[in-house]
Amino acid sequence: VALGLVLGVGVAVAGAGAGAVAVAVAGAGAGAGAGAGAVAVFFLPALFIAWRIRGDDPLFAGLRQFGLWIGGLGGANFRDANLENARFPGANLRHARLAGASNLRRVDFRDARNLHLAYARDTLLEDPRARELLAGGDGEGRSYAGLNLAGAYLFGARLRGADLTEANLSDADLAQADLRDATLAKTQLIGADLTRARLTGACIAAWNIDKSVALQGIDCDHVFLESGDPPKLPQPPSGAFAPGEFTKLFQEVAETMDFIVDTRLELEALRRAIQKLREGGAEGLEVRVVECKEDTIVVRVATPPEIDRERIHAQALREKELEIKLLEAESKSRENEIKLLMQKERLDDRKEMEKNHRDHIKDLFGILRPVDIHVNANAQGGDAVNKSYHQNIHGSGNVGVQGDVHGRISNIARNIGTLPAAGSGAETKLEELLDRLARELKQAPEEKAKDVAAVTRMVEMTVESAKEDNPALLSSAIEGLKKSARSLESYPAVLQIVSEVAKLLGG
């Protein structure tokens, strides 16, 4: 039944009509033993699908090509035929098989009948927009942006106001075509024939032409060199071209090849491709101009007069694509190397941070370790009197520790330097905060000597971490500073200053 449905669609697309669909579906349904009910079930979907694909619905493009292939089994077969410059005015091309023709360059399909029922897969005629334009010659005000019309026969075509942005019109016949107010931005026109075409008001931003383009007898008062709504940069800036002036001006431009690139990667790939072509024997190629036009880059390459520009242009595009792949591979390799280096640096930073943390703990315990001091006093004269004094001192006693703390913090404040981790002006503010902290800690009593020393050490660690611009180490140091300051919670001024220091450094 499914096969009958497909065959019915094929017959319908080939133009045999809905009756043939019904017959095909009915026969398939009977063969499957489904009876009249199955025929009705499959007939209606087949009719609907045939109707949609005859209307060039893109959702059914695959079925349409299949139906046209079936319909063309008994039609005229042009496979492997060279149809260059052939004329089909008024010809009935129903069931014709144009797919596989060796050459359809500049074939005149004007006024051909039933062109939409010809099997033309992988040709210009496959796109309904191109097919209608080639058959009717009227595309005024319509959009053909990005369409492949290479080698199309558009002699005298009415294309006023048409959008041909990035369309491929290479080798197309546009002689006497009306292209007034048309948009030809980034349009490929290598080898095209524009003899006596009308171009007044057209936007030719970054169009691609070379010396093979026929520009004789162009009818043009002015063009625009930058696309937009409306187009910008009129040429000439004022007045109009004198007769023959447009041809003379742009024929000189045609002595070069234009390439359009969108990224720096493509630009570098094109540069490498041109260099490779020069090394391969295409001497004389030279990048003449690199222009930025809107969101694209136009690269103009000068070529010697005797060179085959069309062949070299195509070869350069192929080489450019290969170089893009090589550059992308190189870029990916560099990214992997950078990732590995970053991972190694992070690991080294982690090890260094852990080592510093252990060293800081050792230093801290070295400061806080009790020291036993023995003083021997020897009396002079007469009997010697030996006196022994023993004092257990934490650090150096109250005055010694606080004095040392004040000196260390003051020294930090005077030698802060730059702090990449903090904002502009942070050094001055930090210096003020550290001076205040030194004064507050100096007032702490002897029993708080260990806590004062711990806060001092963490201040040193925090400032050093801020200088190194190591966010992980700085965050750890700030947390340690806050924690050590909590042991002095009975001194709110110290807690306040530490909080301001942490906030200033991003904690």
- Whether this prediction's pTM lies above 0.85 is answered by no
> Which ranges of 154-285 does DSSP label H, i.e. alpha helix?
245-253, 264-279
What integer pLDDT is reported at residue 137 of this predicted model?
94
What integer pLDDT is reported at residue 149 of this predicted model?
96
Strand partners, 235: 223
- Percent of residues, the chain, with pLDDT higher than 70: 69
Please write the tens of the pLDDT for every residue from 244-278: 889 888 876 666 777 888 888 888 899 899 889 88
Residue 405: strand, helix, or coil: helix
Mean pLDDT for 102-112 is 92
Please write the tens of the pLDDT for every residue from 286-331: 887 787 766 678 888 877 767 777 788 888 999 999 999 998 888 8
What integer pLDDT is reported at residue 267 of this predicted model?
87
What integer pLDDT is reported at residue 2 of this predicted model?
43
pLDDT band of 188, cuts 50, 70, 90? very high
What integer pLDDT is reported at residue 376 of this predicted model?
44
pLDDT of 196 above 90:
yes
pLDDT band of 50, cuts 50, 70, 90? low
pLDDT band of 388, cuts 50, 70, 90? very low
Residue 328: strand, helix, or coil: helix
Q: DSSP state, 334? A: H
Beta carbons of 433 and 381 less than 8 angstroms apart: no
* Number of Cβ atoms within 10 Å of the Cβ of 168: 20
What integer pLDDT is reported at residue 165 of this predicted model?
96
| Dist CA 140 CA 128 (whole Å) | 16
CA 218 to centroid of chain Cα atoms: 39
pLDDT band of 399, cuts 50, 70, 90? very low
| Dist CA 75 CA 128 (whole Å) | 21
What integer pLDDT is reported at residue 380 of this predicted model?
43
Place of tokens 């703990």: 361
Which phi and psi (to 5°) does residue 172 adopt? -80, 150
What integer pLDDT is reported at residue 381 of this predicted model?
43
pLDDT of 427 above 90:
no
**Chain-wide mean pLDDT for the chain?**
77
Nearest to 61, CA basis, from 153, 134, 131, 133: 131
Please write the tens of the pLDDT for every residue from 450-504: 888 888 888 888 887 777 767 777 787 788 888 888 888 888 888 888 888 888 8
Token code pair at residue 282 = 């295409």
pLDDT of 142 above 90:
yes
Mean pLDDT for 332-344 is 75
Mean pLDDT for 29-35 is 44
* Number of Cβ atoms within 10 Å of the Cβ of 208: 23
Place of tokens 């050590």: 484
Mean pLDDT for 54-80 is 70
Beta carbons of 48 and 70 less than 8 angstroms apart: no
pLDDT band of 355, cuts 50, 70, 90? low
Token code pair at residue 481 = 């500073």
| Dist CA 505 CA 122 (whole Å) | 66
pLDDT of 242 above 80:
yes
Angle at 241 between CA 198 and CA 246, to 5 degrees: 65
| Dist CA 370 CA 117 (whole Å) | 103
